[in-house]
């Protein structure tokens, strides 16, 4: 199984001191995780997480370790015993599952942000679709999107294609990526002539153009819920609180996210 889209990644400089002091004893601080706060976040939040992590580290002198990838993969890792921390999903589905598994701190769930879907093409593309029905045209032999069987971005895209009446026509052409950033990369590299990604991901790239925005009525509402995983320490609670502040929202807004 795909275990890490980006991997467990320390976003701060190594050796930052003092340690977090995450409510643990001196003996526990021998554990390399004792001076870190963990955050698991959808790949589409990569830039926001990096920005907020820098802010948190500056204020707390505590390292932030971020695991960034498909929400379903991250949720499964937590279900299988990954170290507790903050979890932000790109859909309600995977937070619902974590709650069903009994590993969410009661009262910690909050909707952080919203997003939109766009259809992207390489910047030098000579043909550009005007709507979802155009994707059925043979001129688009490959369509990149996050895995529609499991990844939120892919599920939203599939719902839109189904409602537009073209999913059956494009099903065999879908290049299913492990997460939305990988789907974007397929279009950037010209491996697919068209893709469906979040608006915020398209905004990070200078190698693609947005052909059009997918009408929001064609897919379920895109919302990013956040929770604390049971067992998370005081520093994770502080990061959870910081992510709800106007200062953190500025990073979401700069990246193109909208209020949920």
Q: What would the pLDDT profile of 50-81 be if each residue is shown by its tens digit?
A: 999 999 999 988 999 999 999 999 999 999 99
Q: Is 103 helix (H, G, I), strand (E, B) or coil?
A: coil
120: left (phi over 0), alpha (psi -120 to 50) or beta: beta
Q: Could you report the per-residue pLDDT of 145-157, keeping only the tens digit for each?
A: 999 999 999 999 9
* CATH superfamily ID and name for 8-114+224-254: Periplasmic binding protein-like II (3.40.190.10)
CATH of domain 117-218: 3.40.190.10
pLDDT reading at 214 higher than 80 = yes
pLDDT band at 35 (very low <50, low <70, confident <90, very high): confident
Q: How confident is the model at residue 193 (pLDDT cuts 50, 70, 90)?
A: very high
pLDDT above 70: percentage of residues in the chain: 87
Convert 1-39 to b/e letters by CB count within 10 Å (16 or more is b): eeeebeebeebbeeebeebbebebeeeeeeeebbbbbbb
Which pLDDT belongs to residue 20?
58
Average pLDDT over residues 166-171: 98
Q: Give the least confident one: 12-21, 38-47, 69-78, 209-218.
A: 12-21
* Neighbour count for residue 259 (Cβ, 10 Å): 10
Torsion of CA 160, 164, 168, 171, to 10 degrees: -40
Residue pLDDT, tens place only, 103-121: 999 999 999 999 999 999 9
Mutual angle of helices 152-163 and 92-100, in 10-degree steps = 130
Q: Average of pLDDT values for 128-135?
A: 98
Residue 109 has what pLDDT? 98
Tell me the C-alpha distance between 125 and 107, whole Å: 48
> pLDDT tens for residues 218-227?
999 999 999 9
Domains 8-114+224-254 and 117-218 share a fold: yes
For the chain, percent of residues with pLDDT exceeding 90: 85
**How far is residue 247's CA from residue 235's CA, in Å, rounded to a whole number?**
18
- Statement: residue 229 has pLDDT above 50: yes
Which pLDDT does position 61 carry in this prediction?
A: 86
**Domain residue limits, the chain:** 8-114+224-254, 117-218
């Amino acid at each position: 199984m795909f275990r890490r889209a980006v991997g467990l990644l320390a976003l701060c400089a190594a050796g930052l001191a003092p340690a977090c002091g995450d409510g643990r004893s001196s003996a526990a601080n021998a554990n390399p995780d004792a001076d870190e706060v963990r955050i698991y976040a959808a790949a589409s939040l990569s830039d926001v997480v990096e920005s907020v992590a820098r802010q948190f580290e500056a204020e707390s002198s505590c390292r932030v370790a971020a695991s960034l990838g498909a929400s379903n993969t991250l949720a499964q890792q937590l279900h299988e015993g990954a170290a507790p921390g903050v979890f932000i999903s790109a859909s309600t589905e995977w937070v619902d599952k974590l709650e069903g598994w009994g590993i969410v701190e009661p009262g910690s769930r909050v909707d952080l942000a919203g997003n939109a879907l766009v259809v992207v093409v390489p910047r030098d593309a000579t043909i550009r679709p005007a709507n979802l029905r155009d994707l059925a045209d043979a001129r688009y032999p490959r369509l990149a999107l996050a895995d529609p069987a499991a990844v939120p971005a892919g599920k939203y895209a599939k719902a839109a294609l189904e409602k537009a009446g073209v999913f059956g026509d494009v099903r065999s052409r879908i290049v299913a990526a492990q997460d939305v950033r990988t789907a974007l990369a397929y279009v950037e590299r010209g491996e697919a002539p068209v893709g469906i990604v979040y608006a915020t991901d398209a905004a990070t790239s200078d190698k693609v153009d947005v052909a059009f925005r997918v009408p929001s009525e064609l897919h379920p509402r895109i919302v990013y819920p956040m929770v604390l995983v049971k067992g998370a320490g005081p520093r994770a609670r502080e990061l959870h609180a910081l992510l709800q502040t106007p200062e953190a929202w500025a990073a979401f807004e700069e990246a193109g996210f909208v209020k949920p």
